[in-house]
Amino acid sequence: MFAHTNPSAVEPAAVQSLGIDCGYGGEPLIKDLSFSVKRGEIFFVIGGSGCGKSTLLRHLIGLNRPTRGDVRFFGRSFLDADAAHRREFLKTFGVLYQGGALWSSLTLMENICLPLEEYTTLNSSERQELAAFKLSQVGLAGYEGYFPSEISGGMKKRAGLARALALDPAIVFFDEPSAGLDPITSRKLDELILQIRDLLGTTCVVVSHELDSIFGIADRVLMLDKQARGQIALGDPRALALGSEDPRVREFLGRNARPGENGFDSV
């Protein structure tokens, strides 16, 4: 349809992590982690609770600074960017936080208009039209005037996604998109992620441990482990579930542990 003519032969990775150490002071939770996410890929970061998935996400999106290594978006360093360039980076990605993280004092419409106000030259009515469109894309048409406290958890998440997509970012980060949602809503959200990728070519980086989502929409998964302090597997989830040599990976993806077989690991 509208083939994107790329001048360079080798396209830089949308998201690239180069040997980063993540943690909150003291011993890092993740050590020397390197991976890259291709443009238009749906990339899952998986692993058991406490393995550092959300920590990794916080370090990728700049909420925390890795103590070592570099994070690059489309081949350019995000960490070394000065204040002006940092703003350029910030508008190239959107983040869907776990609970939606909608600003509770603003209506849904205002929530979505805020990034537009900050980063575009659109006037008020254009912003509102665009916000209404974004809300209808996530199935929330007609809820423009609602406050976040007046809608359900699933709706908050969808509104959060509409806000994350407000600037049509090249990359969207999702923090546990299906946590706390019923299977149907969760599947719909997965479909929405697929749709956004197919329609807009958006790169999606998803932190999750929902097997249905992982097998349903992930192109590749990166599995983290607490003991290993980093990556223990990377690749197609279906192939990993069958062919991984690491029992931890097979166990996680195969869900073949019987109740009571190994119990909780003592922390």
Cα–Cα nearest to 50, from 30, 77, 68: 30
Q: Which residues contact 205 (CB under 8 A, 6 or more apart)?
A: 15, 37, 43, 45, 57, 60, 171, 172, 173, 174
Maximum distance among all Cα pairs of the chain, rounded to whole angstroms:
61
**Residue span binding another protein (CB under 8 A) among the ranges 1-9, 20-28, 52-60, 248-256:** 1-9
Radius of gyration of the chain (CA): 19
Is residue 167 at the binding interface for another protein, with CB under 8 A as the rule?
A: yes
Is residue 95 at the binding interface for another protein, with CB under 8 A as the rule?
A: no
Do 53 and 63 touch, CB atoms closer than 8 A? no
Rule CB under 8 A: choose which of 24, 63, 124, 133 binds another protein.
133
Q: Give me the helix-helix angle, 108-119 and 124-137, nearest 10°.
A: 120
Is residue 31 at the binding interface for another protein, with CB under 8 A as the rule?
A: no
User: How far is Cα 105 from Cα 148, in angstroms, rounded to an integer?
Assistant: 8
Is residue 113 at the binding interface for another protein, with CB under 8 A as the rule?
A: no
Is residue 151 at the binding interface for another protein, with CB under 8 A as the rule?
A: no
Do 155 and 140 touch, CB atoms closer than 8 A? yes
Is residue 149 at the binding interface for another protein, with CB under 8 A as the rule?
A: yes
Is residue 135 at the binding interface for another protein, with CB under 8 A as the rule?
A: yes
What six digits make up the tokens of 164?
């994350």
CB of 80 to another protein, least distance (A): 14
**# residues contacting another protein (CB under 8 A):** 51
Q: Which residue has the tokens 């909608």?
A: 102
Is residue 148 at the binding interface for another protein, with CB under 8 A as the rule?
A: yes
Rule CB under 8 A: choose which of 17, 202, 208, 244 binds another protein.
202
Is residue 163 at the binding interface for another protein, with CB under 8 A as the rule?
A: no
Cα separation of the two ends of the chain: 53
Instruction: Give the residue with the Cβ less far from another protein, 203 or 231.
Output: 203
Instruction: Give the residue with the Cβ less far from another protein, 84 or 267.
Output: 84
Contacting positions for another protein (CB under 8 A)? 1-5, 12, 14, 39-40, 73-74, 76, 88-89, 91-92, 104-105, 107, 109-110, 116, 119-122, 126, 128-130, 132-137, 141-142, 144-145, 148-149, 167-170, 198-202
